[in-house]
Amino acid sequence: MIPPKDKPLWCDIAFRMLMNTVSYPIEYGKVLIQIGYEPIPPRPTTTLFGKPALALPNIFQYVIYIKNVDGFTGCYRGLIPKLCAYTVSATAFEKTSKSIKFKDEPSKDDLEESQKRKKCIYEFIRDLISRMIGIIISHPLDVIALRMMAQFVGGETKYNGLFRSFVEVYKANGIMGYYAGLLPRLIGNAAGLVIVSSSTYAIDKFIKNDRELRPYAFIATTITYPFLVISHCMAVNNCGLIAGLPPQMPIYNSWLDCLSHLWSTNQLKRGNSLLWRYYTGPQVLINGKLIPLNKYNFHLQSTT
């Protein structure tokens, strides 16, 4: 997330670190869902329209499961590198943004249409470069955080401690391991910024003061969400953890291979809905009941 420009950097970082810490168990559970780990089998149910479906536990039930297995502190696996990643990214964004200057950039808000367009383009270029640099610099820390979280699947302790984890990433995947999943993350963020910037310009031009008609940030997040899922899967894929190896996850040759597989199994949106979750993978209807075909990633017997 880009730090607001009207707040001091240290103030924004402190606030975001507090919010990230409070909400971290939910983020943790969401990451496990994104990489395809479902410890509780789905139960037969029906949708609002009466259609048979397989319901998965909501995010709060998921977090309770994590707590029951790992305890309260276990709900905070990977928190330290995640906070470090945000701090590094926010600092890099701020410093880069301030260092990028354009000689003929308009400085006033009350401008003619051509000047507004030029100002919008310059701001987009500045934000894009700053965001990409922030992501690239902080990505190794995000990889470590994701792998610490993914250890929950197999109960490993390979990635334990920040400095030890840096060594473990290199041992597992070499230098490229620090940037596993980087490309889809960059593409997703760039696409999101394009949507937000172009929508901001268009809506400011035609609907100047109606902020309630500006859902472009939500739309951008929804459209680019699959890239986040792919990035997280690639960050843990084939890294020596059960979470990133068959049968839990296929070994992907590239992020495009991951995209193709998730697309074919209708899994690109997993984790997008946290309260009403339905199993959308391969399934078959037998005697009026839906049965999931790939049960390998359901690690508990059904209690219903």
pLDDT digits (tens, 9 = 90+) for 88-106: 999 999 999 999 888 777 6
Q: pLDDT-based confidence at 300, cuts 50/70/90?
A: very low
Domain ranges of the chain: 9-292
pLDDT averaged over the chain?
A: 86
Q: pLDDT-based confidence at 208, cuts 50/70/90?
A: low
Do the beta carbons of residue 175 and residue 230 sit within 8 Å? no
The full DSSP string for the chain is -PPPTTS-HHHHHHHHHHHHHHHHHHHHHHHHHHTT-B-S--EEEE-TTS-EEEEEP-HHHHHHHHHHHHHHHHTTTTHHHHHHHHHHHHHHHHHHHHH---TT----SS--HHHHHHHHHHHHHHHHHHHHHHHHHHHHHHHHHHHHHHHHHHT--SS-SHHHHHHHHHHHH-GGGGGTTHHHHHHHHHHHHHHHHHHHHHHHHHSSS-GGG--HHHHHHHHHHHHHHHHHHHHHTTSSSGGGSTTTSPPPSSHHHHHHHHHHTT-TTTTS-SSSEE--SSEEEETTEEEES-GGGB-S----
pLDDT confidence of residue 206: 63
Single pTM value for the model: 0.86
Q: pLDDT-based confidence at 199, cuts 50/70/90?
A: confident
Average pLDDT over residues 295-302: 47
Quote the CATH superfamily of domain 9-292.
Answer: Mitochondrial carrier domain (1.50.40.10)
Residue 20 or 286, more confident: 20
Residue 203 or 257, more confident: 257
Q: How far apart are CA 56 and CA 39, in angstroms?
A: 10
pLDDT at 7 exceeding the cut of 90? no
pLDDT confidence of residue 302: 37
Taking the CA atoms of residue 34, residue 66, residue 86 and residue 165 in that order, the dihedral angle to the nearest 10 degrees is -90
pLDDT confidence of residue 37: 95
pLDDT digits (tens, 9 = 90+) for 17-56: 899 999 999 999 999 999 999 998 888 888 777 777 888 9
